[in-house]
Structure 1
């Protein structure tokens, strides 16, 4: 695989002259000249020396200018050098080599013949002029341009083992080489696997070779099924035939209007998404201006635009996607063939349901170990046939069979086969089959939690904590613990999807549509969902009738709220992430005394009504309301259990919290430091009055004066809380940290989890020592790391030479480790004398700005060490000379992402060790390799090519000595 190189850029004629060309050009110009008389020889020697010194001086200034430019480039992580700048740097490098040749010849200049000496002197003069010209060019070039966003990889299901899907995928990638095909259509019924193919295209090697890949889904801004249901009722109620026809025409007209409005909203969202992917600033622009900016940004790029779930014909020019004749590709996925053709495609592929054999294999795969049970043979084929061999449906139904005892599978199959449905373009059939999965949930609390997810915007991530806390407030579940178990059951049943990296949930859009349809039939739920799809303000009647309203994510479309309402039954109100919402009318909440959940996070509200009286409220989210500087002076929230005020402008502990005695969860952050310290006395007793607290988060993101004055008192109050199970806290210094450890009994609870910062830093993650002193109490360290902790972050830590200094037994439970700015660490693990496996659970390690680091591992590597490691990122380690030994490579069977940047002394990634011979090495799971700014790197491994069968993406930048990657 050939490395990428920033040196491989287009140069103009003047800058493309090579070393030999420069010298040859100069010698040719003076070849016909004859030397002067012998009488002027002494003057000529001085003339030669003058030209040499001038060339030398100009060269030094030019090299310094180049080095300044390189430093600027290396420090800027958001931008990259322009092609013009890179060509200029290459030119300077070429001139430097030419100057070195002349410098090597200068000592023998006096021994040259007169003619040769004269020619040499003229070459020195010409070289000076060339250096000066290059210096002048450097002063005029644009150095940096915004870096092209890299490919954003998305979790994609494996399709290589599904020949029907993989065949279509391969056909799609073949079109990448066909210059006559620019737009490609992919069509097939819902759930057939179109999105799986689109995600794999996004992650493909072919996409990796392009300038940029944009993956988007056409937002569905209308619930067409509900609209049709309402209008069908109107039509069926007409007994007169003529009136029925009129009703039918009215239905068609209303649907057309709804579709047009929905399409305009969808295009608006697409423009925002594409502009965001291109990092364009489009605030205040009209749609025409946004389209122009997008098309201008893409016109010189070879791009891939993937648009999934296209439910209506739209003009791509109207979202800025224009043909640029650069072999760019547009791939559209739709349920309908005519929509693809209506968008002027050049080629089309149909994706059909899986063959029976593949469908059965998929069903077996999703059942896991239960797929080996004898009962599988009797139900597998009928189940997949009932699922119409659609992968999406097979996966979901398998989740339910997996949960049931295999002895009951036949009864479950009989229910599934007798489930009634009718078909309208395939959608209703699939929805009803999914509904069977929903109806088979064994408890109503699971059903309610699942339906509640539909209040969230389509495609958005749902925080697990948010879902559980809201459902508890709504009395759908008993407590937080059972709520998390229910979420786990919904994931196991394939009704919700979990993102392990972000610790959040997602709801498939087909399932969300089904959930909205079901919720409309449950009288007690009464959802009103306009999440991201608000066209006009709600009527008073809509406000009054709904019990749960979601108006989240309406950006600038929701800027005001009604002055006064009669919402006596409203229990949930989602208003989060409405950026234009800055004010709440004083009487807006007056009638909402049954409101249990209020989410205002991410809005721009500057204040809340005062008095703020919501007697039934149990959950209040105000996080990221950065314009909110204080809470109302009078707050009557006697039943509040969850309060989140992180990311607000509130700089000290609000005394109003003292009266919220039922609080179980309190999350705060203090980031402002430019305020006068005060109110130090008022905070006392606020925390200790919250005796029921189970979760406490206090983040200090800067040197907050108020916090520095009160942290000791608050630490004492926190140490007296007896019901805490989760604590995130920033200790001012080591002494306050030690005091807390000795005064609290929380360690006695095996379920107690924590995130501690010791010292001043701008983030908090599990155990930290941030710019603090050495925590020298070995017992304290042991207790800290062993008690349910899986992340260690050392920021500016002093005193430790390696992680091993904390005790191997104390770090073996870690899953994530971050080391940054630790000036004394020499190696990460010193395993000399250790025979037991080390860091057997570690999954991710990030090491940055550790200037004295010389190695990652010292000593013997016992089997099983680093066996779970998937991510290793190294940057700015100026003394690091070695990374892996062959023995270490053999332990890294699960390593997926390897990134090494700005480590100037590294010559090899894998260093030879004694007696390792030429035994082949393999990183079987490695999918992405990034090597950047490694000037001395000459090879990955000198012995043999490193086998990386799963490698999909390789980025090698500014590694000029690396001639061959040698990866098999």
Structure 2
């Protein structure tokens, strides 16, 4: 990666000089000339320069072809190609018309001149952007460690001991690998996550890779291909065009060559050949740590074993009390003996202690504790797959739930082991199954569903998934849930996701209430299974399934939820019309499915329809007859990439869906959309009085970060004018200030995600991209926001140039890619700001425009400055005196910064600078000479300091006297060795 940075930096330096010597005359000629031939010539030269610059960048990227090109670079390339094509067509048209003397007399030269000048301005802008592509031609190298959510185990020697032992073993040359061995539920994964996050590990290895190896209940690891995919994603490798596992292994091996890695393999069930995956054997100090229940697993990879036992009674008591968090129980002397017996019943399982403590936390009376203990003891101790204690305790917790909560809990076990379940879709299925109350209306059912979800998470029966939008069910709990459902006459579930090549026979389907056959490999289904009681059928991600038998749905009259996502089906059989009670139909990513059944109007109860990324490229006409449809998710796209025809979305259907609450429109490419199409959709949508969520999405990921809540408005649109028109036309949303919660994404075709960390904490969130000018009407609609992102705004020199008063209540702000911004805020701007992120601001000279006042900065906690190449001053005296709440400061890739704290501040004498600053990160500051020259200043809260690539920083202002809480300094060894003390 060092090579990439060097090459790109050198190239950018040359291009920067070219900007001054070449681009300025081009700009002047295009702007001033009225000579058509001169404009023609200059435009021709400019587009040739643009093509040359594209080739230069492509050559750099090609030299590092194992890395994925960055999204910024990819988007720039697409716009360059499109603009180049447009200019060539324009110049060809001019050539043809110029050759005809009879035509040239009538040629509208002024129009041609305007068009050429407009294209010329576009080309110059792309040339300037190409000059600014610093360090973003290819993705940055993979992070050395990706931190995981891990419980604190320091108070529990049974868990901390194996962690410390493993850490010690990793420092020994003779240790190839370590097997962390223990029974299910003993805390092996918790130990591994703490190992992954440990500062010593970060210092010992170049890269740490965490891989979840287990699959469903079968005693097998994931396939080599899936493991390679996980490793490639972790290493940020471009695997496009890789044809087989051998080629993939070579790519991975090449990337890891010379790197000292730590490979963490969680839940290994069988021997594993890491060489087959592409991971080189441990020859340079690299190590492997794996968790397993089996003593024989991967003996060729590991030569040390660390055993994990169940918690002692003392530790169990400590953990139970911490989770319980009920100091009032100490006054009830009769309760403590009961509590200790309850803890003993958990058998030292950390997971069970957590679950039981959360159950008893809600019991206020001593009598209830006594009854709970008796219930806990009463359950059968019949052993089932070695989960005797687990079954007993989880069954107790299950019985402590209300009836509707029990059914919702068991429903969660339908999803594959360790899968992240999108919470909103889970709620849709619960609602369709009438698990949330069927007579209280959709709004009430949705609220009930969220209450149940919170309750199950509070009791640890469900956990938060990869983000707060997802939930997951621990594999132990899931196994017990399946065991419980097998004995429930009203909840018979057939679940199998272990790579079946043949589906269960028709006899197995009979009398089932729910069937989940996700992630299998079968190509066929039973002809006509008899399952009149079946209410949910999950068949998603069966890619080999292409044909559904004609009579397959004939005996499924009770079916309410059908998920066929990511299957190879080409059509839906006629027997589906027999399923008149169907409420949820998921067909996303069925790319061979070209149409919906003609008799769709028979599905009068259908409430949710998802056909995104299927072969259906518009809103089918049949949909208009679905009077009860509340949620519709569709895709619009052209037939192929070269198709220039207008998108025919059949949007007249939208206005007829009077019950619609959510509309998601997924677009293959923003370039396929004209404003005319979007405005037409907006006009239709504006008539829907029940709509609460509208999304224009330009990739699958947008759905992952935008929550659909009945009381929350979230809109993603390509242009500000469109959203303003929508607000003006929509009766129920006309006064946006009355809406309690919203997220608006305006013009964010390249940058779709909220970028402010923990964005979900802000109720009123606006992201505005690629805007121009000031006093735009849309800005007046958003005077009351909690978080604001301004991305790639073209012509403002400071925030106040937007021409609107910045909302006083803004707590989070991100400013990125605003190429003309010189200073950000003044003393009256953003008075309640807590978190400020400033990135890729090439002309930024100072953060604060007024260096004599700083009355609005007293609440700032976070400041991140990244890639601000002209920024010289950070903290003037008047500013730093106001920053009493600052906790986190990160400065990176700001080449002009010489000092963090100015000399004028130092001259004021001894003071407690930034008294709450806990973490300071300085990266790629090539001219930084000092953090603070006054070594007598105190840094009373500083805990962590990270410094990377700051070659001219030779001295630190910290000591044990003025920074007594400083625990960690992370830096390059050669820099540390040369440091002056």
Q: TM-score, normalised by structure 2?
A: 0.70
Q: Is the aligned partner of 1:211 residue 2:196? A: no
Aligned match of 2:798 in 791, 801, 806?
801
Q: Is the aligned partner of 1:498 residue 2:464? A: yes
Aligned match of 1:436 in 368, 375, 396?
396
What does residue 571 of structure 1 align with?
Answer: 535
Aligned match of 2:159 in 153, 157, 165?
165
Is 459-468 or 315-324 further displaced after alignment?
Answer: 315-324
Q: What displacement does 1:201 show? A: 1.0
8 A contact 1:875–1:900 mirrored in 2? yes
Distance in 2 of aligned mates of 1:295 and 1:704:
38
Query: How does 1:451-490 map onto structure 2 within 5 Å?
Result: 451-478=410-437, 479-490=445-456
Q: Is the aligned partner of 1:746 residue 2:754? A: no
What does residue 289 of structure 2 align with?
Answer: 331
Distance in 2 of aligned mates of 1:922 and 1:334:
47
Q: 1:202 to 1:760 in 2, by over 3 A?
A: closer
8 A contact 1:727–1:753 mirrored in 2? no
Distance in 1 of aligned mates of 2:207 and 2:527:
47
Distance in 1 of aligned mates of 2:773 and 2:539:
45
Three-state SS of the structure 2 residue aligned to 1:305 is strand
What does residue 344 of structure 2 align with?
Answer: 385
Aligned match of 2:684 in 714, 717, 740?
717
Q: What displacement does 1:572 show? A: 2.0
Q: Is the aligned partner of 1:687 residue 2:654? A: yes
Q: 1:401 to 1:305 in 2, by over 3 A?
A: same
Three-state SS of the structure 1 residue aligned to 2:663 is strand
Three-state SS of the structure 2 residue aligned to 1:767 is strand
Q: What displacement does 1:463 show? A: 0.9
Q: 1:523 to 1:418 in 2, by over 3 A?
A: closer
Q: Is the aligned partner of 1:301 residue 2:259? A: yes
Distance in 2 of aligned mates of 1:682 and 1:943:
69
Aligned match of 1:155 in 149, 158, 162?
149
Aligned match of 2:504 in 516, 519, 538?
538
Q: What displacement does 1:486 show? A: 0.7
Q: What displacement does 1:505 show? A: 0.9
Q: Deviations over 1:526-556 (max 9, x none)?
A: 22222354354332333445432223334xx
Three-state SS of the structure 2 residue aligned to 1:304 is strand
Q: Is the aligned partner of 1:617 residue 2:582? A: yes
Query: How does 1:598-617 map onto structure 2 within 5 Å?
Result: 598-603=562-567, 605=569, 608=572, 613=577, 614-617=579-582
Distance in 2 of aligned mates of 1:760 and 1:334:
45
Aligned match of 1:199 in 189, 193, 203?
193
Three-state SS of the structure 1 residue aligned to 2:655 is coil
Aligned match of 2:633 in 661, 664, 667?
667
Distance in 1 of aligned mates of 2:374 and 2:600:
56
Aligned match of 1:635 in 590, 594, 600?
600
Q: 1:617 to 1:675 in 2, by over 3 A?
A: farther
Aligned match of 1:892 in 886, 894, 898?
886
What does residue 775 of structure 2 align with?
Answer: 776
Q: What displacement does 1:152 show? A: 2.3
Q: 1:217 to 1:825 in 2, by over 3 A?
A: same
Q: Deviations over 1:737-768 (max 9, x none)?
A: 33332333434795664443444724656533
What does residue 854 of structure 1 align with?
Answer: 845
CA RMSD in angstroms, aligned pairs only: 4.4
What does residue 409 of structure 2 align with?
Answer: 450
For this pair of structures, how many residues does the alignment match? Answer: 789
Three-state SS of the structure 2 residue aligned to 1:906 is coil
Query: How does 1:234-245 map onto structure 2 within 5 Å?
Result: none
Three-state SS of the structure 2 residue aligned to 1:687 is helix
Q: 1:920 to 1:420 in 2, by over 3 A?
A: farther
Distance in 2 of aligned mates of 1:799 and 1:409:
65
Is 167-176 or 882-891 further displaced after alignment?
Answer: 882-891
Q: What displacement does 1:158 show? A: 1.6
Q: Which has the larger radius of gyration?
A: 1
Aligned match of 1:821 in 794, 798, 817?
817
Q: Deviations over 1:708-752 (max 9, x none)?
A: 323333323322322233333455654443333233343479566
Question: Gapped runs of 5+ residues in structure 1?
Answer: 10-64, 82-142, 224-261
What does residue 176 of structure 1 align with?
Answer: 170
Distance in 2 of aligned mates of 1:912 and 1:583:
75
Q: TM-score, normalised by structure 1?
A: 0.71
8 A contact 1:576–1:599 mirrored in 2? yes
8 A contact 1:531–1:550 mirrored in 2? yes
8 A contact 1:930–1:955 mirrored in 2? yes
Higher normalized contact order (CA 8 Å, seq sep 6+, divided by chain length): 1
Q: 1:147 to 1:795 in 2, by over 3 A?
A: closer
Distance in 1 of aligned mates of 2:570 and 2:848:
52
Q: What displacement does 1:440 show? A: 1.1
Distance in 2 of aligned mates of 1:942 and 1:560:
74
Three-state SS of the structure 2 residue aligned to 1:710 is helix
Distance in 2 of aligned mates of 1:785 and 1:75:
48
8 A contact 1:364–1:371 mirrored in 2? no
Q: What displacement does 1:393 show? A: 1.7
Distance in 2 of aligned mates of 1:332 and 1:604:
36
Three-state SS of the structure 1 residue aligned to 2:409 is helix
Is 686-695 or 910-919 further displaced after alignment?
Answer: 910-919
Is 662-671 or 474-483 further displaced after alignment?
Answer: 662-671
Q: 1:314 to 1:674 in 2, by over 3 A?
A: closer
Distance in 2 of aligned mates of 1:473 and 1:762:
36
Q: Deviations over 1:754-813 (max 9, x none)?
A: 4434447246565333323457367x64654647x7564545365583279687773625
Distance in 1 of aligned mates of 2:917 and 2:549:
56
8 A contact 2:540–2:563 mirrored in 1? yes
